[in-house]
Amino acid sequence: MIRKSPDDFLAKDFIATTEGLVFAVVENGTEQGRVLGFLRYRKISSGWQKLSTQQANTFLQVNYPDYLFHSVNKDACIHAVATDRITKHYRPEQILLNILQLESQDQVILDLQKFYLLLANAGLELQNVGVTGSVLINAQKQSSDIDLVIYDRVEFFKLREQVIKLIDNSLLKGLTEKDWQASYQRRSCELTFSEYVWHEQRKNNKVVINDRKVDLSFVDPLCAEENTTYTKIGSIKLKTFITDHTKSFDYPAVFQIDSQEAQSVVSYTATYTGQAFAGEKVEIAGLLERADNGQCRVIVGSSREAQDEYIKVLL
């Protein structure tokens, strides 16, 4: 069982409200009775409208400011939904189980079923896998990617290794130049295109099936945000060495660093998940935060686009 309780909220879940709003959950658990998330979709007459970061922020400010919440722990204003205002909880593992039993003509669903079967035939244990993104709420288009979330650390790393073998055996494909360009444009990150691709190709968490990109991410269902209050100090840029990347694929990603200014780097944007390995020298730009115990960390991804924030390996 992935969740301690069916009512547990995990990062990558989606939640819906009575107003027809769907938020992507960004952190396990709750804070002050609220689920922390980000508004991703709203219901309109023609179906689901996907919102950009700016659209989502503006929409809530104008129409539903009560979904804007000042997190004391994070010293930031973020999107959050009180648990008593949630009308539906989309659990990725349950939705995937339902999808695998479907007889569908939807090509996105067919590609997902085929990908899952390839992995199962390769001997992977897949009971700790779910589907997130647009497929989670049945909002996919024919051009949609497939976003899978894995809830077991060992299985996640096995899956990344298996992806390489399946590409080598021509059962799956790596991303093309066109795929990387499309991914880079969506990310709108601070890296150059060549920097972005160099970092991404080492991660082995993206693959193509039937010309459709599949993204693999990891969520630790046992991880809960520490009960620590952080205060923002200001922007920081530093060069340092990564000392531990054990949790670099977690959500959020955590890197331990060798610096007098901060002890760790935490990234809330997928662009910098798995970005660097222990022993590598990196340049980091982000927001410096100090915990109530005096420890400091650098946040990369204080907004979804992480404007002016990055992690990159120095070669």
N-to-C CA span, the chain = 43
Cis peptide before 252 (omega within 30 of 0): yes
Are the beta carbons of 260 and 271 closer than 8 angstroms?
A: no
Torsion sign over Cα 150, 93, 300, 50? positive
pLDDT at 305: 55
Instruction: Report residue 303's pLDDT band, with 50, 70 and 90 as the boundaries.
Output: low
C-alpha span between 253 and 298 (Å, rounded): 12
Residue 304 has pLDDT above 80, yes or no: no
- In Å, the largest CA–CA distance within the chain is 57
Task: Please give the average per-residue pLDDT across 52-68, as a whole number.
Answer: 95
Q: CA nearest 187: which of 305, 40, 16?
A: 305
pLDDT digits (tens, 9 = 90+) for 35-46: 999 999 999 998
Architecture of domain 230-313: Beta Barrel (2.40)
Domain parsing of the chain, residue ranges: 14-90, 92-218, 230-313
- Helices of type H across the chain: 53-63, 92-100, 107-121, 153-168, 177-187, 193-201
Residues 6 or more apart in contact with residue 163 via CB below 8 angstroms: 172, 204, 205, 207, 216
pLDDT > 90: percent of the chain: 82
Residue 141 tokens read as 């288009």
C-alpha span between 155 and 40 (Å, rounded): 28
Q: Which of 110-124, 139-153, 299-313 has the lowest mean pLDDT?
A: 299-313
Instruction: Report residue 6's pLDDT band, with 50, 70 and 90 as the boundaries.
Output: confident
Instruction: Report residue 124's pLDDT band, with 50, 70 and 90 as the boundaries.
Output: confident
Rounded (10°) CA dihedral 70, 299, 175, 184: 80
Q: Which of 149-153, 184-188, 257-261 has the lowest mean pLDDT?
A: 184-188
